[in-house]
Amino acid sequence: MTGTTSRTTVTTVVPERAALALGDDALVLSHRLGEWAGHAPVLEEEVALANIALDLLGQARTLLSLVGDEDDLAFLREERAFRNVQLVEQPNGDFAHTIARQLYFSAYQELLYGQLAASDTVFAPLAAKAVKEVAYHRDHAEHWTLRLGDGTDESRRRMRHALDALWRYTGELFEPVEGLPVDGPALREGWLGRITGVLERAGLALPEGPQHTPWAAGGGRQGIHTEPFGRMLAEMQHLHRSHPGASW
């Protein structure tokens, strides 16, 4: 070490709030998808859902590591310190709910990472890799939206119900995040176009009403979560917390 004299490398400033927000989104959704293991409707979906979960976990690890120790951040923060949107913490529900959640979130994530990949920020390298993974996730969700929407009466009913039930959680995706260099309104416009297109092809209507009424979710980015989230964290963190300081 040469002390505090001239530094030649540029210090990259990590916008911590933004890194945590994106990292927590990926971490929490990965966890929810991991809950499907051994429960999927068909073996191919065991593989696909685990694959998506692994991609997201990889993204989460990179993002959390920008901020600090990935395990400290994942296992030792309380519920109020998590910055993920409420959409990703929603319970899996039936397969249609899981697909609707994937559809809404992956379309958002693809657009978001597309912007970040082109940005001059610390997120650019991660986003350049992740945008390819997320394009696959979006494709998977869209194909299932088509199959379920245009499959049987039962699958159409379930898909419509799931899309409606999760709609209120989508507005939060476009709220500004401190340090996240994205054009929120443009993201929302692109997202709405994407979702509308898929739902039309699936013979499904866009859920009714603007995203913010009658009651819309919000607050995940400020650490305000829904009730199922605390239980999810209790399960996720209990072993790590039971052995303070241990290595695994």
Q: Specify the DSSP class assigned to residue 11.
A: P
Report the residue number, 46 or 79, with the smaller CB distance to another protein: 46
For position 204 contacting another protein by CB under 8 A, the verdict is: no
- Helix boundaries (H) for the chain: 16-34, 43-67, 70-75, 86-89, 95-117, 124-149, 153-167, 184-201, 227-242
Q: Is 226 in the site for another protein (CB under 8 A)?
A: no
Note whether 82 binds another protein by CB under 8 A: no
Q: Measure the CA–CA gap between 113 and 111, rounded to whole angstroms.
A: 6
Using CA atoms, how far residue 135 sits from 92, 98, 167, 245, in Å, is 21, 17, 21, 38
Chain position carrying tokens 């400290």: 72
- x-or-dash string of contact with another protein, 50-69, rule CB under 8 A: xx-xx--xx-xx--x-----
Closest CA to 61 of 70, 69, 53: 70
d(CA 146, CA 199): 8
Closest approach of another protein to the CB of residue 152, in Å:
5
Q: Does 94 bind another protein (CB under 8 A)?
A: yes
Rank residues 64 and 87 by Cβ distance to another protein and give the closer one: 64
Which of 37, 81, 118, 206 is in the footprint of another protein by CB under 8 A? 37
> Quick one: which segment of 1-9, 126-134, 162-170, 233-241 binds another protein (CB under 8 A)?
233-241
Residue 176 binds another protein, judged by CB under 8 A: no
Contact 204, 159 (CB under 8 A): yes
Single-letter code of the amino acid located at 178: E
Size of the site for another protein (CB under 8 A): 49
Query: Which residues are near another protein by CB under 8 A?
Result: 27, 31, 34-35, 37-47, 50-51, 53-54, 57-58, 60-61, 64, 70-71, 74-75, 94-95, 146-148, 150-152, 154-155, 158, 235-236, 238-240, 243, 245-248
